[in-house]
Amino acid sequence: MGLVFLNTFTRKKEAFAPLEPGKVELYTCGPTVYDFPHIGNYRTFLFEDLLRRYLKYKGFSVVQVMNLTDVDDRTIAASRKEGIPLSEYTARYSKAFFEDLKTLNFDLAEHYPAATEHVGEMVEIIQKLLKDGYAYESGGSIYYKISAFPGYGTLPHFKPDELKAGARVAADSYEKEEVGDFALWKAWDEKDGDVFWETPLGKGRPGWHIECSAMSMKYLGDRFDIHTGGVDNIFPHHENERAQSDAFAGHPVVKYWLHSEHLLVEGKKMSKSLGNFYTLRDLLTKGFAPPAIRYALISVHYRLPLNFTFEGMTAARGALERLYDFQRSVKNAKEAREGVEVGHAIHKARETFEQEMDDDLNISGALAALFDFVRETNRLIISYGLSPKDKEKIGEFLCKLDSVLGFLKEPSVSIDLQVEKLIAQRNDARSQKDFARSDQLRLELEKMGIILEDTPQGTKWKKRL
């Protein structure tokens, strides 16, 4: 069985076959750079990172585009409130975003286009939509006419007339022919301040959805393989984007739609008013290590709501410590003659890992394969030790898995002189069998986050994650 994804468009698991063999074109909806992204954003971005990494693991060459939304109601309002230019405002949060990507060990996408740099492309699409009868002008703005697009509502599984019964109705609906119609181009108004473009469409700014149509087609062409985002984007954003792109191209543009579920915090939707709203930086401040955060956000299947809790963070930390301890055990294992067992264990683990990941990125099964491998290998280490060749094979295997997981490399830590001295003092105390003193020093170090292990090869230390 090969790679299978659940396609939101069909609601079915489908065998993955890229348009061009060996190559995958991937469009992933990126952040609106108006604030520090929260861990829910990163849950989705990490799902996309896992997807990208696994596609590469499978041997595909991947071209990924992640857009940066740097003009919309929120960015305009926030920059005006601060009294600084929009570009200066969004640059601040773009920078923070890329810092976070580095912190969480993202495998970077090929393109991170910004909306404000693609207004020309957006205008071109809108002009064609106008010409082809998919759009109309009203009050200086331009709207997409959803009734002109057959199959509108297929992605979110709505019928257009069901939208009218919806609870919320846009405030400016009087300008539109139908409530479901949405803005492609927004005429300038006072609230926009100095944020506008003078274009053949008039003075104004683009609507939200059009940027993704423009940037996806610019970098990936008018047919590409996978489009992803959070479930909240299914409607309206992705459906509207689909309506625009497909009408423009004259055929379906996206082959597979994948959506990740949201993250909850302590069982509740994350919100600033509930005080359960966390950015990546908040978690770092609380002392959680980046790989543990990555583990926690990636280890629940992307189509399941992830209930983020501090208990869960602690569990993630524990699991990772086991993986790091294992790698140390491998390194320090006593020398043994080469056997076939390690080869078998690796083979089995790899098969299971791939089989699980092939099934719509079943990360739980894939991680179980890894942990089974850890236990099996630990047994071998206890009974026999490892040959240098086996150590090498294990290292290569873990490295291969880490090209997908991205959290297996323990962050390098250095200890300061004081800690080094305490460890030396404790060793002295131990060699003189002054165990009271030795235990006291060990406790002291533990409070500093340094864990000691007395092994036949001497005392080893590690830093708590």
Among 270, 330, 346, 401, binds RNA (CB under 7 A): 270
Instruction: Give the nearest distance from C-beta 59 to RNA in angstroms.
Output: 23
Q: Which is nearer to RNA, 20 or 177 (CB)?
A: 177
Least distance from RNA to the Cβ atom of residue 352, Å: 9
Residue range at the interface with RNA (CB under 7 A); choices 16-24, 94-102, 295-303, 335-343: 295-303
Report the nearest approach of RNA to the CB of residue 206 (Å): 9
Of residues 424-453, those binding RNA (CB under 7 A): 430, 435, 438-439, 442, 451-453
Residue 55 or 234 with smaller CB distance to RNA? 234
244 binds RNA (CB under 7 A): no
x/- binding map, residues 148-187, to RNA, per CB under 7 A? --------xxx---xx-xxxxxx--------xxxxx--x-
Q: Is 1 in the site for RNA (CB under 7 A)?
A: no
Binding residue for RNA, selected from 214, 234, 293, 408, defined by CB under 7 A: 234
Interface pick for RNA out of 54, 197, 326, 397 (rule CB under 7 A): 326
Q: Which of residues 116-145 bind RNA (CB under 7 A)?
A: none
Q: How far is the CB of 452 from RNA (least distance, A)?
A: 5
Residue among 98, 136, 196, 371 that touches RNA (CB under 7 A)? 371
Residues between 196 and 215 with contacts to RNA, criterion CB under 7 A: 207-208
Contact with RNA (CB under 7 A) among 12, 23, 74, 251: 74
Which of 133, 139, 318, 411 contacts RNA by CB under 7 A?
318
**Interface of this chain with RNA, residues 29 to 58, rule: CB under 7 A:** 29, 31-32, 38, 40-41, 43-44
Bridge pairing between strands 23-28 and 61-66? parallel
Find the shortest distance in angstroms from Cβ 377 to RNA.
8
Q: How far is the CB of 181 from RNA (least distance, A)?
A: 7
